[in-house]
A and B are shown apart, each in its own frame.
Chain A
Amino acid sequence: MATYQLNVNGQRKQVNVDPSTPLLWVLREELKMTGTKYGCGISACGACTVHVDGIATRSCVVPVSLIGDRSIVTIEAMAQDPVGRAVQEAWVDKDVVQCGYCQSGQIMSAVALLKATPKPTDTNIEESMGGNLCRCATYVRIREAIKSASQQLS
């Protein structure tokens, strides 16, 4: 066990966990931030996506010991982020969600895309969102919502 000081959504959080514990389980089990979901556990589905220093990161495969002092941003902070808020509003407006399980990861990847590429093409969207799987196959509505958020932000 080791003690880590984490910067999560702008707040200092202290956890005492095994160094090999994936960030996902630190968020969910130690910090009780359950908005980030466990999907596959091998970074194949994207449900666990958070931002680490702005990079969309698969929290299920990153041990907490490798985070260091980088800032972690989760779905819980998206309503306070201008891009995050626009994406969430577009998600509601386009009625993207079906079962909803993968959507926090989808939104985190979409926000990372729009922050780097404010006017994404269909190809940009397909490439950037290609690592986020949705078993309800809401992909068409996800693409519409990203374009809608992009227009809203411009």
Chain B
Amino acid sequence: MLPNHRLVGRVFLFIGIVLVTWSVLSTFGAGRNQTSAADARLVDGLAAWQQVYSVLTSPRCINCHTATNYPQQGDDRHRHFANVIRGPAGKGVPGLNCASCHQETNADSTGVPGGHNWHLAPLSMRWQDSSDQPLASAAVCRALTDRAKNNGLDAPALLKHNETEPLVLWAWNPGRRPDGTMRTLPAISHSEFVAATRVWVEAGTPCPPGK
């Protein structure tokens, strides 16, 4: 038999070891949980970005995000007819402005699409290379999140832009072609596009690796 005071001491030592071990393990576990949550948010954000990218590179959007001095038209993204050019402000030139044909709304009887402030995106927001091929997902993402290129939009402003900008909304209401058929829409709905943008923004606007 051990004397009483030695027994009490060993009991306290045992309890102390248990408490320290529990504390260390619980702290380690919480860190792992936090890391897992951050990883999951990043994965979700990148997946959401790919949905956003699918819209940005649809013909309804990318036809006016060219790297050249002219817009494109049609699902085959051919050069805009009638010798239309970009002009200094992305709105054509005097005598041949975007507004020479494109009005505030679609003109379904003549097949000319329209929306408020119809214009080309600035060259800093080009989503194509000089051969008219869409830039890779990472490159578009980097451009879109660069406030030196995106007209100073922070992440909440990017979300608002995708929610409310008239020319963004036009992509889901593109009107009829001159032959009377409907123009095609982006692959996902506008509400899905906004939801994906929100997930991407809340994840910190992550961009995929690569060029």
User: A96-154: which have CB < 8 Å to B?
Assistant: 109-110, 112-113, 115-117, 124, 127-132
Q: CA of A49 to CA of B100 in the docked complex: distance in angstroms?
A: 9
Chain A contacts for B105, CB-based, 8 A: 66
Instruction: Report which of A22, A55, A57, A112 forms a contact with B110, defined as CB distance below 8 A.
Output: A22
A61-B112 contact in complex given A56-B96, A129-B95, C-beta closer than 8 Å: yes
Most A CB contacts (10 A, CB to CB) among B93, B99, B103 go to B93
Chain A contacts for B100, CB-based, 8 A: 43, 49, 55-58, 131
Chain B contacts for A110, CB-based, 8 A: 95
Interface size on A, residues (CB 8 A): 30
In whole Å, how far is A31's beta carbon from the nearest beta carbon of chain B?
Answer: 19
Q: CB of A14 within 8 A of chain B?
A: no
In whole Å, how far is B181's beta carbon from the nearest beta carbon of chain A?
Answer: 15
User: B49-100: which have CB < 8 Å to A?
Assistant: 81-85, 87, 93-97, 99-100
Interface size on B, residues (CB 8 A): 25
- Could you tell me if A62 and B103 are in contact, using CB atoms closer than 8 angstroms? yes
Chain B contacts for A124, CB-based, 8 A: 93
Q: CA of A50 to CA of B108 in the docked complex: distance in angstroms?
A: 21
Q: CB of A44 within 8 A of chain B?
A: yes
Chain B contacts for A35, CB-based, 8 A: none
Q: CB of A34 within 8 A of chain B?
A: no
Q: CA of A122 to CA of B67 in the docked complex: distance in angstroms?
A: 24
Chain A contacts for B96, CB-based, 8 A: 56, 109, 127-131
Q: CB of A42 within 8 A of chain B?
A: yes
- Could you tell me if B114 and A131 are in contact, using CB atoms closer than 8 angstroms? no
- Could you tell me if B94 and A128 are in contact, using CB atoms closer than 8 angstroms? yes
Residue of B nearest to A43 (CB): B101
Interchain residue pairs with CB less than 8 A apart (30): A20-B108, A20-B109, A20-B110, A22-B109, A43-B101, A44-B82, A55-B97, A55-B99, A56-B97, A57-B100, A57-B101, A58-B101, A61-B110, A63-B110, A66-B104, A109-B95, A109-B96, A112-B94, A113-B94, A113-B95, A117-B94, A127-B85, A127-B96, A128-B94, A128-B95, A129-B95, A129-B96, A131-B82, A131-B83, A131-B100
18 further A-B pairs in the complex, CB-CB below 8 A; given A63-B107, A129-B95, A131-B95: A42-B111, A46-B82, A55-B99, A56-B94, A56-B97, A61-B101, A61-B107, A62-B103, A62-B112, A66-B104, A109-B96, A112-B94, A127-B85, A128-B94, A130-B83, A130-B84, A131-B82, A132-B95
